[in-house]
Amino acid sequence: MLRVGIISNPFAKIIKQNPEYNTRLWYTLAHYGQMEVTHSVEQLRQVCLEFHARKINLVGIVGGDGSISLVLSALYSAYGSDPLPKILLLKGGTINFLAKNLGIKTEALTCLEDTLKIIHKKQALNEAILSTLHVNGRLGFIFANGIATSFLEEFYKDKTNSFGAAIKITSYIVDGLLKGKINGEFKKIVRQQKMSIETFPEKIWQQKAISAKSPDEFSLIFASTVKKLPLTNQFFKKVKLGDEYAEMIAISEKGKKLIKGALKSLMGGDIYNLPHVYSVKFKQAHITSYENSLYSLDGDLLDSKDGKIEIEMGPNFVFCSPYEIAK
């Protein structure tokens, strides 16, 4: 029997645009379960502990990718060694890349209505198992460093949506192709950073021959347990959903060659054969950034303080949907 709980982020884009949205969600949920609007991390922890005590086994999350990351981390802590609840994505954020990876296109209220219809008929929801990354104590799905953090710092100054992000990336690419003659933004965010990377059980450098030593200056580092980055059709080719491995891609290319790789990935092309792109499936990774302690997890900018970032595999979660789930 499914016991439903919904956690809503009042700062999610869909809620900010329509303050009555939470009321409509609460009215739709009715006797099927419990809905909570959390305004702080501490309140979120308390709600997850209450859900555990009430044996809630299907948790709907209203918000963006950062909200999902925070809720999963709080659920993992609250449920401990007991079975984790299944997750229902009720997308309401800016980018919603996780929903895109699962093929969920409808907005939160419609998705909830369709889910409750299936539960009422005692039919089974579609499911997919996703592995998580455990990065410096927080769960998520996509880790990024290097240029990605510089881009997010700029993007959040006038945060819009996926279309706005695409326009901003396009402006950087065009500026780079024209050697900074448009606005100089390309050079502003695109610079290599000195880092050291270790991955286990295999070293990332085993995938290609390195003549002298492992490269230590990088433009971009990504790690993921899902296949798609925002704005791409498929970026990580080695990811298999729920297999308890992640993929890391480290890029030490720069300048116009970096632009070439970016254009190729945005068009769905394979970047693995580019000379300064390294990739490996891994279970643990240690990254030390010597210049910038910031990194991104599911779109949230976080500070590692000392530049040290520890990544390991987190728990698997079962994601449910009333619609067919992309594999």
Q: Which of 111-115, 298-302, 305-309 has the highest mean pLDDT?
A: 111-115
Topology of domain 4-124 in CATH is Rossmann fold (3.40.50)
User: Which amino acid belongs to residue 155?
Assistant: F
- Taking all residues of the chain, what is their mean pLDDT, rounded to a whole number? 85
pTM of the model: 0.87
Find the mean pLDDT for residues 82-108.
93
Rounded distance, CA 53 to CA 106, Å? Answer: 31
pLDDT above 70 covers what percent of the chain?
80
Higher-pLDDT residue of 269 and 210 is 269
* pLDDT confidence of residue 192: 77
pLDDT at 4 over 80: yes
Higher-pLDDT residue of 317 and 170 is 317
* pLDDT confidence of residue 264: 65
Nearest Cα residue to 126 out of 322, 298, 284: 322
Q: Which residues of 156-236 form beta strands (DSSP E)?
A: 193-200, 217-218, 220-224
* pLDDT confidence of residue 205: 75
Q: Which residue has the tokens 């881009």?
A: 151
Model confidence at 204, pLDDT cuts 50, 70, 90, reads: confident
Find the mean pLDDT for residues 209-215.
49
Q: What Cα–Cα distance (Å) separates residue 229 from each residue in 25, 95, 99, 205, 221?
A: 29, 10, 11, 23, 13
pLDDT tens per residue, range 238-258: 999 889 999 999 988 776 666
Q: How many helices (H) and strands (E) does the chain have?
A: 10, 16
Q: Where are the domains of the chain?
A: 4-124, 140-314
CATH level 2 (architecture), domain 140-314: Sandwich (2.60)
* pLDDT confidence of residue 26: 96
Take residue 268 and report the two structure tokens written for it: 């769905």
* pLDDT confidence of residue 158: 61
* Terminal Cα-to-Cα distance of the chain (whole angstroms): 26
- Residues facing residue 217 across a β-bridge: 194
Contact partners, residue 104, CB within 8 Å, separation at least 6: 89, 91, 111, 321, 323, 325
Q: Which of 44-58, 227-241, 278-292 has the highest mean pLDDT?
A: 44-58
Cis amide bond preceding 201, omega within 30: yes
Model confidence at 126, pLDDT cuts 50, 70, 90, reads: very high
Least confident stretch, 124-128, 150-154, 162-166, 313-317 = 162-166
Rounded distance, CA 214 to CA 204, Å? Answer: 9
* pLDDT confidence of residue 211: 43
* pLDDT confidence of residue 230: 77
Rounded distance, CA 38 to CA 49, Å? Answer: 13
Rounded distance, CA 27 to CA 25, Å? Answer: 5
Rounded distance, CA 271 to CA 274, Å? Answer: 6
Model confidence at 42, pLDDT cuts 50, 70, 90, reads: very high
What is the three-class DSSP state of 124? coil
